[in-house]
Amino acid sequence: MRILVIEDDRDTLSFIRTGLEEAGHVVKGIECGDVGLQVARTEEFDAIVLDRYLPNIKDGLDIVRTLRAENNNTPILILSSLGDLDHRVDGLKVGSDDYLTKPFAFSELLARVEAIVRRYEPAKIQIELCVDELHLDLLKREVRRANKKILLSNREFQILEYLMRNSGKVVTRSMLREKVWNYHFDTHTGIIDTHMSRLRGKVDRGFDYPLIHTVRGSGYKICRDDQIWWTIKLDLIIQLSHLECRGLGALSGRSAKAIHCCLEWYMR
């Protein structure tokens, strides 16, 4: 899951981020209330962990009010040292999904985050991602292909999740750096390629056909072989059409025949 943590205490933020990342989640941490609100409004997350005392904003509950007023229903867990009954009730009344007081055990925070995600309208959140015979369970953190369990590292799981959420689309290395590694600057692409090589070995080796493909000069795509071939055929027909418009008379008879064969193949 992709989780936004808005917490001004750096030690607490680091503690939560480390725990969530070790549990296999992608975490974005923000220390200021106004910046956290902007990020929550412009990016998609599976859950938000929100402190009440934040710089540049009166109360963290104002963030909840704003998001709910804009019909943003991302599950929100309030994290606060204000633990009286009235404070907890206020937090729930404005639209948060749960309220956890400080100090807290990380195991409880993780359990509560997973619980509010499960309760969040099933129609609006994907618990399982599927591409052909490949299935990824986001809550159990299990991957199976043709009912065979595939063991992945946390980073491999995050990469596969992002690929599957963008099934059929080209995912660039820059997108992987930002969404999986949380790097917003260029870094050595060999790291990404190494992880991708290992992931492809686990997901594709031993099966009848590959699902993860390299798109030369662009990045990667996850889909069935026939989808890749349709992309190639479409690209080929466009190029051949340009040649035909320019006149096949300038081409040899063998080349012209080859082009016509390709055109007929595309039209099947």
Check residue 121 and give its pLDDT. 59
- Residue pLDDT, tens place only, 85-112: 888 898 899 999 999 999 999 999 999 9
Angle at 255 between CA 254 and CA 260, to 5 degrees: 100
Check residue 129 and give its pLDDT. 92
- Residue pLDDT, tens place only, 148-171: 999 999 999 999 999 999 998 899
Query: Which comes out higher in pLDDT, residue 236 or 145?
Result: 145
Question: How far is C-alpha 183 from the geometric centre of its chain's CA atoms?
Answer: 14
- Residue pLDDT, tens place only, 204-243: 999 989 999 998 888 899 998 655 555 555 555 555 556 5
Which CATH code is given to the segment(s) 2-124?
A: 3.40.50.2300
Strand pairing category for 212-215 and 219-222: antiparallel
Q: Is CATH 2.40.30.10 correct for 128-215?
A: no
Q: Quick one: which of 4, 137, 161 has its CA closest to 75? A: 4
Cα atoms in the Cβ-side hemisphere of radius 13 Å centred on 54: 27
Within 10 angstroms of residue 106's Cβ, the number of other Cβ atoms is: 14
The pLDDT of 192-204, averaged and rounded, is 93
Q: Quick one: which of 76, 58, 80 has its CA closest to 12? A: 80
Predicted TM-score of the model (pTM): 0.56
Query: Which comes out higher in pLDDT, residue 139 or 257?
Result: 139
Question: How far is C-alpha 153 from the geometric centre of its chain's CA atoms?
Answer: 16
Q: What is the mean pLDDT of the chain?
A: 83
- Neighbour-count burial for 233-242, b at 16+ CB within 10 Å, e otherwise: eeeebeebee
Check residue 8 and give its pLDDT. 92
